[in-house]
Amino acid sequence: MAAIDGLPALREVIRDHDLVAKKSLGQNFLLDLNLTAKIARAAGDLTRCDVLEVGPGPGGLTRGLLAEGARRVLAVEKDSRCLPALAEIAAHYPGRLEVINGDALEVDVLAHLTPPIRIAANLPYNVGTELLIRWLTPAVWPPFWESLTLMFQKEVAERIVAKPGSAHYGRLALLAQWRCEARIVMVLPPEAFSPAPKVHSAVVHLQALPEPRYPAEPKILERVVAAGFNQRRKMLRASLRGLHPQIESLLEEAGIPPTERAERVTLEQFCHLARLLAR
What is the secondary structure of 106-171 as a DSSP string?
T--GGGG--SSEEEEEE--TTTHHHHHHHHHS-SSSS-S-SEEEEEEEHHHHHHHH--TTSTT-SH
Cα gap 219→154, rounded to integer Å: 28
| The CATH classification of domain 218-277, taken from the options 3.30.470.20, 1.10.10.10, 1.10.8.100, 3.90.1150.10 | 1.10.8.100
Cα gap 173→185, rounded to integer Å: 16
pTM of the predicted structure, to 2 decimals: 0.94
Q: What pLDDT, on a 0 to 100 scale, did the predictor assign at position 125?
A: 81
**Fold (topology level) of 10-208:** Rossmann fold (3.40.50)
> Where are the CATH 3.40.50.150 domain residues in the chain?
10-208
pLDDT of residue 2 exceeding 60: no
> Where are the CATH 1.10.8.100 domain residues in the chain?
218-277
Q: What pLDDT, on a 0 to 100 scale, did the predictor assign at position 226?
A: 96
Pairing of strands 29-30, 180-188: unpaired
* More confident call, 126 vs 274: 274
Q: Calculate what percentage of the chain has a pLDDT beyond 90.
A: 89
Query: Roughly how many angstroms between the first and final C-alpha of the chain, as a whole number?
Result: 56
Residue 28 annotated as binding site: yes
Mean pLDDT of the chain: 95
Pairing of strands 147-153, 201-208: antiparallel
Q: How far is CA 170 from CA 111, 226, 262, 265, in A?
A: 33, 9, 8, 10
Cα gap 68→62, rounded to integer Å: 10
Greatest C-alpha distance within the chain: 66
Residue 55 annotated as binding site: yes
Q: Could you count the other beta carbons within 10 Å of the beta carbon of residue 149?
A: 25
Residue 5 annotated as binding site: no
Give pLDDT tens digits for 242-277: 999 999 999 999 999 999 999 999 999 999 999 999
Residue 103 annotated as binding site: yes
Average pLDDT over residues 64-77: 97
- Single-letter amino acid code for the residue at 189: P
**Which DSSP symbol is given to 82?**
G
Pairing of strands 50-54, 97-101: unpaired
Residue 30 annotated as binding site: yes
Q: What pLDDT, on a 0 to 100 scale, did the predictor assign at position 164?
A: 96
Residues 6+ apart with CB under 8 A from 67: 1, 4, 5, 37, 40
Give pLDDT tens digits for 165-215: 999 999 999 999 999 999 999 999 999 988 888 999 999 999 999 999 999
Q: What pLDDT, on a 0 to 100 scale, did the predictor assign at position 43?
A: 98
Q: What pLDDT, on a 0 to 100 scale, did the predictor assign at position 31?
A: 85
Give pLDDT tens digits for 15-41: 999 998 787 777 888 889 999 999 999
Q: Which stretch of DSSP H or E encloses residue 211?
A: none
Q: What pLDDT, on a 0 to 100 scale, did the predictor assign at position 4?
A: 62
Q: What pLDDT, on a 0 to 100 scale, did the predictor assign at position 126?
A: 83
